[in-house]
Amino acid sequence: MRVAMIGSGYVGLVSGACFADFGHQVTCVDTDAAKIGQLKAGRMPIYEPGLEELVRSNARAGRLAFTIDIAEGMKGADAVFIAVGTPSRRGDGHADLSYVYAAARDIARNLEGFTVVVTKSTVPVGTGDEVERLIRETNPAADVAVASNPEFLREGAAIGDFKRPDRIVIGIQDPRARGVLEELYRPLFLNQAPILVTSRRTAELIKYAANAFLAVKITFINEMADLCEKVGGNVQEVARGIGLDKRIGPKFLNAGPGYGGSCFPKDTLALIKTAEDHDSPVRIVEAAVRANDLRKRAMGRKVIAAMGGEVRGRTIAILGLTFKPETDDMRDAPSIAIIQTLQDAGARIVAYDPEGMEQARHVLSGVDYRVDAYGAVAGADAMVLVTEWDEFRALDLARVRKLLRAPVVVDLRNIYRPEEMARHGFHYHSVGR
């Protein structure tokens, strides 16, 4: 089948490359000429494990192409996916749908024959209705079916998530869309991935509900971690104890410095705004958002407390800047608020991240970046583990102890065992233990 992917960011590029790998003919369209130039040259605008080789191999095979010309990209397409950004709108927190609506109008002007237009971007309930209205307003003669097909891709594991999904959600109003989308995803039938077909509005809500639920789950275990510290419990054992209950499950029960990234912060906020607009507030989600925002600066204060309550003029080594491992994404990363809290208290920050330092330079100032973890801790008064990259899981602790000016380690991801750190002579502080 022929597929046009409007938007070549994280979702569009991963989805387009994976569809091409299934054997479909895919053209990714983007208004950013520099990005398209990069992709044609085989250079990735984002870091995602396995993506560069997937893009290059399918481009070489002639199944994946890139263009800034939407007419060229849509020529002969059976399905056109909208995969543009929906950032939080300045001022009110609603999802900014201007890119989605602009894409809908551009698509309408270039439709040829029956086409399924699919919203892949994360959008509030009712967006598909407006997309369809705009298409029909722009091109009254269009033979089109508008569907919703939300993505459930984790940064750092997106290719595996696309190819081995827990489920594929398809929201339709026109039954003709079902056959087209089922044919597109037919290769996944071998993996027995269930396809859930719903109304369009239900599909839109599923995406927001899923992300909000996971954000609440993370916030819950973080609050349990705080309680564990007060009463002498161990949050890792609490998490295991409740996670073994099949009604709860073990995932997203790792205590830490709070959630960030491209999805949870903006999607929870957008859900709250949608609920308010429909006079059906989501109080649990509101509380989770508030608690998560407060937690990030609280982790900065935790570091200050571990250093005796005073950090002015002292050097703190931060290991890990991105909101999670295996990505270069700095959006709403906990490290930002933690570093700013420490800088506000007068600390000097040195930092290292395997992939995120270039992006970090755009959002953080006054940080001294180093080429590796040992370079960061050399001469520092404390080491703070913020992101659980694999290379931080097996540091040479004897070497770290010698390099640090003071033996203070604050582990915000509970990577190490307290008894092990004590044997190496560290003053060790973790989360919820």
- Residues with catalytic function: 263
The three-state secondary structure class of 195 is strand
- What is the spatial distance between Cα 369 and Cα 360, in angstroms, rounded to a whole number? 10
Which residue type does 172 have? I
**Do the strands 115-119 and 64-67 form a parallel or antiparallel pair, or are they unpaired?**
unpaired
Residues 101 and 276: beta-carbon distance below 8 Å = no
Write the CA distances from 291 to 59, 64, 85, 199, integer angstroms.
45, 43, 26, 33
The residue among 264, 261, 262, 249 whose CA lies nearest residue 219 is: 264
Residues 239 and 221: beta-carbon distance below 8 Å = yes
Q: What are phi and psi of 352, to 5 degrees?
A: -145, 135
- What is the spatial distance between Cα 165 and Cα 337, in angstroms, rounded to a whole number? 33
- What is the spatial distance between Cα 32 and Cα 101, in angstroms, rounded to a whole number? 17
Residues 409 and 373: beta-carbon distance below 8 Å = no
Beta-carbon-side half-sphere exposure of residue 205 (alpha carbons within 13 Å): 9
Q: Name the β-bridge partners of 25.
A: 2
Which residue type does 248 have? I
Could you give the maximum distance between any two Cα atoms of the chain, in Å? 75
- What is the spatial distance between Cα 29 and Cα 70, in angstroms, rounded to a whole number? 6
Burial (CB count <10 Å: 0-12, 13-18, 19+), residue 373: buried
> What tokens does 8 get?
């070549």
Rounded to the nearest 5 percent, the helix, strand and coil shares of the chain are: 45, 15, 40
Instruction: Find the length of the chain.
Output: 433
- What is the spatial distance between Cα 328 and Cα 178, in angstroms, rounded to a whole number? 35
The residue among 300, 349, 357, 362 whose CA lies nearest residue 327 is: 357
Beta-carbon-side half-sphere exposure of residue 417 (alpha carbons within 13 Å): 4
